[in-house]
Structure 1
Amino acid sequence: MRYFFMIGIVTATMLFAGKGISGKTLGGGALEVTADRFTHVEAEHKAVFDGHAHAVQGKSRVDADRFIVYFDKGNSAREYRAIGHVRFEIVRPDQHVKGRCAQLTYRVAEETYRLKGDAHLNDLLNHREMQGEEIFLDNKKKLATAKSDKKGPVKFIFQMKKSPSTQKKETQR
């Protein structure tokens, strides 16, 4: 069997635990992870999905070479990590983002995301893009930072709304 299905690994949660980028829950649903191989390492409190890992919950998804779920002693997910050729799309009622990176880590209790390695994040609702070698998002503090490497600068692109006076001048021309 090419894909091992692990359905309901975390129920009544969002993609990447109970809270998504916006910090709000959607109120249920199962996280479904498919991959070529699955390993549960009880001593290390982790589940590892290797080869063509694909995690889906609702309209949100993550694709990577490897997807790891780390659990606490109570068997609740404490961290999610996607490694290798990571592509993701997170859809919430008030947010829709897409991105890519070499490694994506979400820490559940802290509500933080760390994108490493040629990180790109596109906020489709607010028409903003962020690029850098590393991007860090903190949902609790409403903070976003980006770092560059020696290859190039951090890049942030956002669409400016035209002011009413600018719009009036353009229509008079």
Structure 2
Amino acid sequence: MASPETGSTSMTNPPGQLRIDDPSLQRMPGQAQSTLNQLIGETKTGLMGIRPFLHISPETTICRTIELMYDADASGVLIVQANQVLGIVTERDILQRATEQYERISQQRVADIMTPCPTSLKFSDSVQTAIKQIAQFRHIPVVDQSNQPLGILTPYRAFEFVDALLTEVAES
């Protein structure tokens, strides 16, 4: 955990509660902190600006996946079959395997490198739950009640959303 002097956000949470350690929050009046904690606990993940998702079949080659991700400016892709998320592949997954072995891996199937059965969030999960998950996983599928994919939540989107909440609370 970084020191408060760096202005970083801590994700060390007491059980059942999100704690954001940021020097600017320490200057926030108690009521504003309470409002922020309530908003984070009650606001639903679906409002965080989940990114439209790129999805492919598990048989898609890594080379084709790279092309699709590049064309869509996507940092992650869901592996979907029968409207269910089987896995997720991110640019990090590909880069970790590509450094020395691109020719060999480029024709492999993404099913060979995907993260199977990834942790996912429901559209109705709280922002607090989403932030806790983002602290552990960088790209998280967001699914509906039938587990059909709706999008991907990225750290950037989560940060953007929390920043907007902080601004709104500070201005109220």
TMscore range, shorter length? under 0.3
TM-score, normalised via structure 2 length: 0.25
Higher relative contact order (CA 8 A, sep 6+): 2
Comparing both structures, which one devotes a greater share of its residues to strand? 1
TM-score, normalised via structure 1 length: 0.25
Comparing both structures, which one devotes a greater share of its residues to helix? 2
